[in-house]
Structure 1
């Protein structure tokens, strides 16, 4: 009689990438990734420093160069530099692009960033709380109720 198998034994072992993709195909993909990385690095070098950081990606193919900016504001600035970039890429031997486009990179496609930390709420000055309390007492209906709740919440905040 065999002992019961553990859950780890039941799971198939993960495969190596080289077992799933032929080596020649993998080498071709890695070479294209490296070419793409170098092209993006060159494009960023040709841009002014503040703008270079906001050029997030590039795609080259069929004589067209597409640059991706992180927002519409940065995209409009990239459009201004695009003709010069195409010209300088040709001079440096990075291909002949007949035309260029600039697109805005969707936030969903971009790598997630840590959300900025929100500052802890602080208690307003006592005079501010007193003014809100006075307004609550002077107001009727929903406004007075809402101001009274706000005043109560502000009193509970840490100093």
Structure 2
């Protein structure tokens, strides 16, 4: 008789490991973007991610989106200079910080 029930850790464990790696990469990219910005706009970056050839940066207010957009050349140079995936565009959108989390 075969065992119909398999341990949950055997099937979901690798998925959690992949998710953890993606979250760590996302957080590291966000910190790199913040450190590349020189002015007060760096405190208003909620997160950053790459989607295909586009860098997507979330700001906590629409007022900071143009300030971040002005640094487009600097941000794209930072990412392309590090040898990562080729990024050619920047999109800045408004996003919210999760409730209960303060910025680091």
Q: Normalising by the residue count of structure 1, what TM-score does the alignment of the two structures yield? A: 0.53
Aligned match of 1:85: 75
Deviation beyond 4 Å, 4+ runs, structure 1: 18-21
More strand by share: 2
RMSD: 2.0
Counterparts of 1:95-110 in structure 2, within 5 Å, are: 95-105=85-95, 109-110=96-97
Identify the structure with bigger relative contact order (alpha carbons < 8 Å, sequence gap 6+). 2
1:110 Cα deviation from its structure 2 partner: 2.6
Compare CA radii of gyration and give the structure with the larger one. 1
Q: Tell me if the contact between 1:45 and 1:52 (Cα under 8 Å) persists in the aligned partners.
A: yes
Note closer, same or farther for the CA distance 1:71–1:20 as it changes in structure 2 (3 Å cut): farther
Contact 2:29 2:49 in 1 (8 A): no
Correspondence for 2:99: 112
Q: What residue ranges of structure 1 are gaps of 5+ in the alignment?
A: 1-17, 114-159
Q: Residues of 1 paired with 2:25 and 2:74: CA distance?
A: 21
- Asked whether the 8 Å contact 1:67–1:103 carries over to 2, the reply is yes
